[in-house]
Amino acid sequence: MFIDKVTISLTAGCGGDGCVSFRREKYVPYGGPNGGNGGKGGDIYFECDIHKTTLLDLSYTPKFRAENGQKGLSNNRFGKSGKDLVLKVPSGTLVLKNGEFYADLKSTNERILVVKGGRGGRGNASFKTARYTAPRISEKGEPGETAEVSLEIFLIAEVGFVGFPNSGKSTLLSRISAAKPKIANYPFTTLVPNLGVVNYKGKSFVVADIPGIIEGAHKGKGLGFEFLRHIRRTNILVYVIDVSTNDDDSSDPYVSYKILNNELRNYSKYLVEKHVIIVLNKIDLPSCQEHIKKFRERLKNKKILEVSAVTGKGVDKLIVEMMKMLERPLSFKFEEEVKETSIKRYIYKPDFQVNIENGVFIVTGSKIETLTKITKFNEDEALRRYQNIIKKMGLETKLEEMGAKSGDIVKICGFEFVFEK
């Protein structure tokens, strides 16, 4: 099954707790602290694997977690770090982290860190200084980072085939490449995009054939619109238009061309800025000459080719044209388009913020929250250290400024403290 869009939540591993312990041996008085640090929590990475074609296996699991770090132990033994988790994604996967553009993975083995594992808590051996020789203090492990991540495949191809259902896109792809897409004489034969590699005189390029587009696609009709994203990276769009005649007006190739163009424009203004080749297909069928003549008269300044995907007539010329056109640069590249449409916001985050709710002072902010999470409040010295750090951050002054009096309740990260001047 071809799944080209998933949203998953990721939680990196939590760091292991640090340990409080002292060396106790015969004949070694004042052995000193020897509590080891906790191990680091595992990270989560995405890695590009060009042999993968779908995000199906990620769609089964809505939540991924990396392993936690282990606790530090006595005798300066450090906890083992948690194992990293590497999730494989297909080439062309765009990663949005918490709704913002994060990465575009294209080449094989390209790997990015998405959420970082928590730091291991320090054991008491780490707190030893010349003046402070017997610390009874350690930290808890830091929680791992969490994120909501959306993955979307944007297939990597140089040329995209677009057209109405049944116009012969898949037939044409099977003609020019080794791809074997399903072909049949009914609309919507192609349900997911097909890729084919065209080799010609020592050069090669990739063509994407997507499901047919119909009028009203941009309002959700048919299947094609969802798949237009897969031709967003291409340099060339090839409009495949059926010129075999029917009596009704709907088979006028010029009308088809206009409808297609309108749908593409409604999808994205960038699509219609690509290089275009118009392919009038099925010229082996009788009485299409009249249509072709009229079409050419109405669209004079466009590249128009006549082919028969079934007999192969005109197909070589099409390949040569595509190759020639590929050498011309595009006015807009996919990369720029992505950057333009998803602007990264850098938000300044203060160390802490204070709000008053029902007389309680609520303190938030990632720095102070992390500090709170790694502090072991049952250790006297850890508590003292905590108080020192938040004083240096300026929390006490801020609380006083906001009118806090002795005995008021201050809430940090779910913990309640009583304010004292």
Residues of this chain that bind ligand GTP (CB under 6 A): 163, 165-171, 183-185, 187-190, 211-212, 281-282, 284-285, 308-310
β-bridge partners, 187: none
At closest approach, how far in Å is the CB of 301 from Mg ion? 29
Phi, then psi, of 257 in degrees rounded to 5:
-60, -45
Among residues 235, 53, 211, 210, the alpha carbon closest in space to that of 158 is found at: 235
Residue 126 interacting entry, from ligand GTP, Mg ion, none, C-beta within 5 to 8 Å by type: none
Least distance (Å) between residue 194 CB and Mg ion: 7
CA torsion sign, 288 to 293 to 296 to 297? negative
Helix (H, G, I), strand (E, B) or coil at 45: strand
Helix axes 289-298, 253-267, angle to 10 degrees: 50
* Residue number, 189 or 268, with CB nearest to Mg ion: 189
Q: Which does 92 bind (CB under 5 to 8 A by kind): ligand GTP, Mg ion, none?
A: none
Min CB(2)–ligand GTP separation in Å:
14
**Based on CB atoms, which residue is closest to Mg ion, 170 or 375?**
170
CA-CA distance, 86 to 31, in Å (whole number)? 42
Q: Residue 165 contacts by C-beta under 8 Å, 6 or more apart in sequence?
A: 187, 188, 189, 211, 212, 214, 222, 224
Compute the least distance from the CB of residue 191 to Mg ion, in Å.
Answer: 9
Which of ligand GTP, Mg ion, none has residue 96 at its interface (CB below 5 to 8 Å by kind)?
A: none
Backbone angles phi, psi at 316, to 5 degrees: -60, -40
Distance CA 15, CA 18 (A): 9
List the single partner that 282 binds among Mg ion, ligand GTP, none, CB under 5 to 8 Å by kind.
ligand GTP
| Nearest distance, CB of residue 283 and ligand GTP, angstroms | 7
CB closer to Mg ion, 174 vs 372: 174
Please identify, using beta-carbon distances, which residue of 167 and 256 lies nearer to ligand GTP.
Answer: 167
Residue 171 binding partner per list ligand GTP, Mg ion, none, with a CB distance cut-off of 5 to 8 Å that depends on partner kind:
ligand GTP
Partner from ligand GTP, Mg ion, none binding residue 52, C-beta < 5-8 Å depending on class? none
* Among 340, 334, 284, 342, CA closest to 313: 284
Instruction: Judge whether 379 and 357 are in contact, CB under 8 Å.
Output: no
Q: How far is the CB of 212 from ligand GTP (least distance, A)?
A: 3
Shortest Å, Cβ 59 to ligand GTP: 24
Nearer to ligand GTP, 19 or 173 (CB): 173
Of 94 and 172, CB closest to Mg ion: 172
* Of 180, 181, 272, 258, the residue nearest 228 (C-alpha): 272
- DSSP secondary structure code for residue 244 in this structure: -
Minimum distance from residue 178 beta carbon to ligand GTP (Å): 16
Q: What distance, in Å, lies between the first and last C-alpha atoms of the chain? A: 64
Site residues, Mg ion (CB under 5 A) = 170, 189-190
Specify whether the CB–CB gap between 222 and 188 falls below 8 A.
yes
Q: If contact means CB under 5 to 8 A according to the sort of partner, which of Mg ion, ligand GTP, none does residue 141 touch? A: none
Q: Cα(202)–Cα(10) distance, rounded to whole angstroms?
A: 44
Closer to ligand GTP by CB, 11 or 256: give it.
256
Token pair recorded at residue 124: 């008491």
Between 285 and 320, whose beta carbon lies closer to ligand GTP? 285
- Report the partner that residue 281 touches, choosing among Mg ion, ligand GTP, none (CB closer than 5 to 8 A by kind): ligand GTP
